[in-house]
Amino acid sequence: MRVSPKNKFSPKTIFGKPSTKALLWVLLLLIIWELAAQLDFVPVYILPPFSKVITTLWYEIFNGNLPVMVGRSLFVLIEALAVSLGISIVVIWLCRKSKTFNSFYSAVSAMMNSIPSMALLPLIIMWLGIGDIAIIALVTHSVLWTFTIYINEGINAIPKIYREFAENINLSTFKQLKDVYLPAILPNIVSGLKIVWGRGWRSLIGAEIVFGAIGAAGGLGYFINISRLNGNMSRVLAGIVIIAIIGIIVDYGIFRRISVRMKKWGMKNE
Amino acid sequence: MNKPIVYVESVSKSFGEQVIFRNLSFSIKQGETLAVIGHSGCGKSTLLRVIGGFEKADSGEVSVNGKIVHQPARTSIMIFQDFTQLFPWRTAISNIVWSMLAVKIVDSKSKATRIAEQYLSDMEFLPSNYNKFPIQLSGGMKQRVSVARALALKPKLLLMDEPFGALDNLTRQKMQIVTSDVCKKHNITTILVTHSVSEAIRMADNILVFCRDGKIEIIKNDKYADAKIEKLLNIRH
Ligand SMILES: Nc1ncnc2c1ncn2[C@@H]1O[C@H](COP(=O)(O)OP(=O)(O)OP(=O)(O)O)[C@@H](O)[C@H]1O
Ligand SMILES: [Mg+2]
């Protein structure tokens, strides 16, 4: 009965053909990198061989250095995401309550969304110093506006019929939110988070590098920067590699899994 | 003799310039079925939505079970003319079970599941489909789940907007019988929008016809009903 050739692979697409191909390309690049360094095409202090970077990575993981730095970065990022989520809930609630606030917030978020967080960095340092609060503020800025725009769009796109059925059975406001609105906007929450997490992660690393340069300590960005100051190129690259690895883990391990589940419901998630 | 449970009193509704109905009045006795029939776009769904409280009338009043209708309420459950009324994130059976628990009509999940399974099997809905998500079901299957869900919620008034539209004749007749039986058993009053004259005649006590000329007539379902409906539907000026 099942003849569609597409179907044959679809459940395994993640580990099936497309990503195998991607993996091969990455492998090819790594081989070129390794060869270029080993054959002395580039000096070691500019580009150490990949194998050396891996050894360093291994070493830094097992001496506990890197896990502490990564843990700290992730912790700050999660703090910032939580703050953003909290503010989003309040803001969206206000937007739904008041048309005036909604138009005010639309204007502000459109404007703020176009300012890169690095452009706000000097301002934030002057206002908040160089501590965690400043980093959280910075990451929140890179996250909040886009996120609320996504959620708002999601709420606007909830089919009227879901709301009408909820009203029909006299569902309490809380249950409407929990059992109807939340699952209905889940695709938007996920695609919003997916974009926002990448942005937040980037501005976090950026801020840590800058803050590290002017005296604050901690985080992956700091690790990379301090390694540069020490002239330890393989540690710099190890830091960069770990950033890529974390990106892939979050994307494949979390977001793709949720997407697969939502596909099962037939709900869009781009 | 049963007393009326639904009163529609000089209700008018227009969309801008377009008058859908004007000064419409009728009542439905408890436990009876009113079929609503008319050409596509004449206002059948609009009438149902006004009675259900989903749409505000321009003037006039609707009351159900002694209460004036201002907004949707649990006493009148609507089956919308739409295949997408089930929540896509819940399976067929979980859509029903969740609704029953949400309105607290039963106190335990296992009880709700048993009742839901009963209704679904009455509607010839195969057990192998119970745990499928709406996206995996056909239009007719979704409609049957919607009907089962509405019946399981035990409303006083059941508003059905072409619930059997997507079904083959055999399934359709089976569904009509099951729905009638459940409504009789629980004394549920029904308004059934349909475009099938034979369905109206099979299910209804009275039939409301949106005539070709814009008038609305209510006729008794007697042996002349068939011919009368055909005539009313086709009057032209
Ligand atoms: N929200 C609305 N705004 C404006 N016009 C509307 C609205 N809803 C319905 N109408 C118009 O009212 C008329 C009646 O619509 P309605 O959906 O009640 O028809 P119907 O009898 O249910 O048709 P069908 O058999 O095709 O379902 C149509 O001409 C439609 O264009
Ligand atoms: Mg209609």
Q: Is residue A240 part of a domain?
A: yes
- pLDDT for the residue B225: 85
In one-letter notation, the amino acid at residue A110 is A
Q: Is residue A226 part of a domain?
A: yes
- Are B71 and A167 an interchain contact pair (Cβ–Cβ within 8 Å)? yes
Integer Cα distance of A52 and A235 in angstroms: 9
Residue with tokens 């079925």: B33
Q: Is residue A24 part of a domain?
A: no
Task: Assess whether pLDDT exceeds 50 at residue A7.
Answer: no
- pLDDT for the residue B4: 92
- Model's pTM, two decimal places? 0.81
Q: Is residue A222 part of a domain?
A: yes
- pLDDT for the residue B127: 95
Which residues are paired to B19 by β-bridges? B14
Number of domains in chain A: 1
Q: Is residue A19 part of a domain?
A: no
Tell me the per-residue pLDDT of A22-33, one tens digit each, with 9 for 90 and over: 788 889 999 999
Q: How confident is the model at residue A18 (pLDDT cuts 50, 70, 90)?
A: low
Tell me the per-residue pLDDT of A71-120, one tens digit each, with 9 for 90 and over: 999 999 999 999 998 999 899 889 888 999 999 999 999 999 999 988 99
List the single residue in A with minimal CA-CA distance to B73: A168
Regarding an ipTM greater than 0.85, the answer is: yes
Chain B hits for A264, CB-CB cut-off 8 Å, are 133, 135
| Helix then strand then coil, % of chain B, to nearest 5 | 35, 25, 35
Integer Cα distance of A157 and A26 in angstroms: 39
Q: Could you tell me the residue range of the domain that residue A137 belongs to?
A: 58-264
- pLDDT for the residue B7: 96
Q: How confident is the model at residue A3 (pLDDT cuts 50, 70, 90)?
A: very low
Tokens of B124: 């010839």
Nearest to B189 by CA among B179, B177, B176, B175: B179
Chain A positions touching chain B (beta carbons under 8 Å) = 159, 161-162, 164-165, 167-171, 175, 179-180, 183-184, 186, 264-267
Integer Cα distance of A139 and A147 in angstroms: 12
- pLDDT for the residue B236: 55
Dihedral over Cα of A193, A194, A198, A201: its sign: positive
Chain B hits for A186, CB-CB cut-off 8 Å, are 89
Tell me the per-residue pLDDT of A36-74, one tens digit each, with 9 for 90 and over: 888 888 888 888 999 999 999 999 999 998 999 999 999
Q: Is residue A86 part of a domain?
A: yes
Please report, for the domain that includes residue A189, its CATH number.
1.10.3720.10
Q: Is residue A51 part of a domain?
A: no
Tokens of A248: 């892939």
Task: Assess whether pLDDT exceeds 50 at residue A2.
Answer: no
Task: Assess whether pLDDT exceeds 80 at residue A216.
Answer: no
Q: How confident is the model at residue A259 (pLDDT cuts 50, 70, 90)?
A: confident
pLDDT tens per residue, chain B (237 residues)?
578 999 999 999 999 999 999 999 999 999 999 999 999 999 999 999 999 999 999 999 999 999 999 999 999 999 999 888 999 999 999 999 999 999 999 999 999 999 999 999 988 899 999 999 999 999 889 999 999 999 999 999 999 999 988 888 888 898 899 899 989 989 999 999 998 899 999 999 999 999 887 789 899 988 888 888 888 888 654
Q: Is residue A104 part of a domain?
A: yes
Give the minimum alpha-carbon distance from A161 to chain B in angstroms, rounded to a whole number.
6
